[in-house]
Amino acid sequence: MKIVIVGCGRVGGLLATELNAHGHQIAAVDFNQRSFRHLPLDFKGQTILGTGIDEDVLRNAGITEADVFIAVTDDDNTNIMAGQIAQTVYKVPQVIVRIYDPVRADIYRNLGLNVICPTRTVAGLIEEQVLGVESLRRPF
């Protein structure tokens, strides 16, 4: 698959590395050249310096042929805008965006974006562990 990843920080770099190792064609986009240090030296994908909401940058990354578009910058607004561009302008079949704010995540999920909210995910995992520990302490 052709996958465009906007944001090459820890998460984007790891995704690009893992998906590339599985044989997928990866284009990693970031506005900070130093972010590409999260990629291994043997990374076979494409790296594009620029912002994920610039259509020239996105076209250079191959968005017109992309099967998957992933936006994982550290900015919710950038991820939302990039995801909407990928979904509405370029009709990318699968668009995934990371949104930290749970309220905004719900809003954009209801508007049709495939949203991952790490804030909600981590809180849920911790809650499960806390409640699991509490249930073990209760007498039967």
pLDDT at res. 87: 97
* Mean predicted confidence (pLDDT) in 108-133: 89
Q: What is the pLDDT of residues 38-79, one digit of tens each?
A: 999 999 999 999 999 999 999 999 999 999 999 999 999 999
112: three-class secondary structure by DSSP: coil
Q: Is the pLDDT of residue 120 over 50?
A: yes
Query: Cα–Cα distance between 140 and 121 in angstroms, integer?
Result: 30
Cβ atoms of 20 and 43 closer than 8 Å: yes
Q: What is the pLDDT of residue 140?
A: 38
| Domains of the chain, start order | 2-137 (3.40.50.720)
pLDDT tens digits for range 4-29: 999 999 999 999 999 999 999 999 99
Mean pLDDT on 131-136:
63
Q: What is the spatial distance between Cα 80 and Cα 83, in angstroms, rounded to a whole number? A: 5
Count of all residues that appear for the chain in the document: 140
Average pLDDT of the residues of the chain: 93
Instruction: Express as a percent the part of the chain with pLDDT over 70.
Output: 94
Question: What pLDDT does 134 receive?
Answer: 57
pTM recorded for the entire structure: 0.91
Token digits of residue 112 = 């049709």
Q: Which of 26, 118, 37, 111 is nearest to 72 (CA)?
A: 118
- Exposed, middle or buried, 98 (CB in 10 Å: 0-12/13-18/19+)? buried
**Gap between the Cα atoms of 138 and 109, Å rounded:** 37
Do 49 and 75 meet the contact criterion of CB atoms below 8 Å apart? no
Cβ pair 99, 74 in contact under 8 A: no
What is the predicted pLDDT for the residue at 96?
98
